[in-house]
Structure 1
């Protein structure tokens, strides 16, 4: 299970990191909130299809089963993306990346709302802060832009970070007997409805302004099926297995994959500053996960000694 969660964590980071590049393609032709809403419409349809084939029950039957659906769908998908896309009208991507990097910093404070809250050690807290510094280094925002950004935009993106962290904390540990795929399908649908409402409410959004080019449609289906249905499925699985604080560390690895994907697909330069940011994030991870790293190192040492004895 230890190795499975590591693989899921890295695969999800890669998927959501490359999604930044794909999103830019779609936003060339589609209004942001509408783009996100239709993305989760398609994701919900895919997951309902999977649930019909794989699950023995499709509909929630109790308040306990509706709670994670409404919480995760509204906060992690709907409210998070609604605030994020609205805020990005006023602030640039670098400022947004820095503010989203606060999710692992916000999450430990929010976990104190639960009785079974995880706790960060002082060394772990230093690791989390180092990870945030690494995100800032990679984003490399212009300080004058960061300080001069529209206060409304900063507030909206920060609200999106809080919504995502709060959704993770409230959803983690929720007891539900509804099958996994059915739960995920309803979450996508709830999130899509919130985003459609946002699209209608935003004065700069217009369905008539959408241009459904082949590139936009391809981006939509990648984000809906791979990053949406698959990505959020992996995220909520990870949340159940490692908890909200460790799952929040995705926000420190996603920029690494986003930078590499931008370099491979769009030719965006990966300079010394970006590589330095990677290094700072890596050190932060080692501090947060130092006990796991130590146990793995001891296990490999024991395996090596056992192999040497067998060879003798």
Structure 2
């Protein structure tokens, strides 16, 4: 992972950490699938505006373009967010972010089943386990409390939908520019979510749904669409294409600390001691997952007397 990829990784985790609290706030005024459809419709419009302003080619051509567009739109945008937002009606923002720690655990399994060329070492697998236990610690799960079981199940199902999309989304043969690909991906997801609102009870994309929403909820909707939505997903798919689904899946371990910090500083939520311990565990998990690259870089540094280059892997 290069320095620029590492900075992108941290930036995405920070921005998406804020999205869980923003979503929880917006759900006070919007049904979950309606919120997701509105969010990604606005996000798609924003990216298409960039495409046309930059005079990029925007019409997909062939399997190389349509495969990542359809896979990312159907699974990462559509199904994932329909399930996630539905689950967030019943669980806290912090718990939802934490439960998505299933993503790095499930990704290596899905990549093996799909014969993906990404791989994970034994030490990396231990790191993933440490990270998962750390986010469970931060969630402070109570096994005797079954009231949120439906919500937790929906969030966990959304994690599997996300992994499937990440494994299937490959841009190696794409001919469109990255921003054009992501604009289409968000649009496909938004259209599928809009169709879902027609079939699901309690969902609606009528003007009344917007007019009845509070000013705060509309503000959160715009924020979700433009920052974690348009900008965040454009950055994510760029990172996914460069580092692969296993390492990109580790975002789900980096997001909960940012979600907790956002709640602490903006919403004055308390920061438990277990959360601090969990942060440390996540840091250790990253070191374990990247241990092979770190050891190799240090060995080259000792042998050649050259500065350690974080771009070597």
TM-score (norm: length of structure 2): 0.89
Where do residues 185-224 of structure 1 align in structure 2 (5 Å cutoff)? 185-206=183-204, 207=206, 208=208, 210=210, 211-224=212-225
Partner of 1:225: 226
- The CA distance in 2 between the partners of 1:241 and 1:304, in whole Å, is 24
- The CA distance in 2 between the partners of 1:166 and 1:183, in whole Å, is 18
**Contact 2:97 2:259 (C-alpha < 8 Å) held by counterparts:** no
Distance 1:54 1:201, change over 3 A: same
Aligned length: 303
Partner of 2:73: 73
* CA distances 1:231-270 after superposition (whole Å, capped 9, x unpaired): 0001000001100000000000000100011000000111
- The CA distance in 1 between the partners of 2:296 and 2:266, in whole Å, is 38
Shift of 1:93: 4.6
Partner of 1:137: 137
Residue 35 in 1 paired to residue 32 in 2? no
- The CA distance in 2 between the partners of 1:88 and 1:22, in whole Å, is 11
- The CA distance in 2 between the partners of 1:156 and 1:12, in whole Å, is 23
Partner of 1:308: none
- Unpaired runs of 5+ residues, structure 1, are 306-312
**Contact 1:40 1:189 (C-alpha < 8 Å) held by counterparts:** yes
- The CA distance in 2 between the partners of 1:290 and 1:273, in whole Å, is 25
Shift of 1:23: 1.9
- The CA distance in 2 between the partners of 1:51 and 1:37, in whole Å, is 21
Distance 1:229 1:97, change over 3 A: closer
Secondary structure in 2 matching 1:144: coil
Indicate which of 180, 185, 202 corresponds to 1:182.
180
Distance 1:55 1:130, change over 3 A: farther
Of 263-272 and 166-175, more deviation after overlay is shown by: 166-175
Of 79-88 and 159-168, more deviation after overlay is shown by: 79-88
Partner of 2:311: none
Indicate which of 158, 169, 172 corresponds to 1:171.
169
**Contact 1:94 1:140 (C-alpha < 8 Å) held by counterparts:** no
| CA RMSD after TM alignment | 2.3
- Unpaired runs of 5+ residues, structure 2, are 309-313
* CA distances 1:13-52 after superposition (whole Å, capped 9, x unpaired): 0000011222222222222211111111111111111111
Shift of 1:99: 3.2
Distance 1:43 1:54, change over 3 A: same
Distance 1:155 1:27, change over 3 A: closer
**Contact 1:68 1:174 (C-alpha < 8 Å) held by counterparts:** no
Shift of 1:297: 5.0
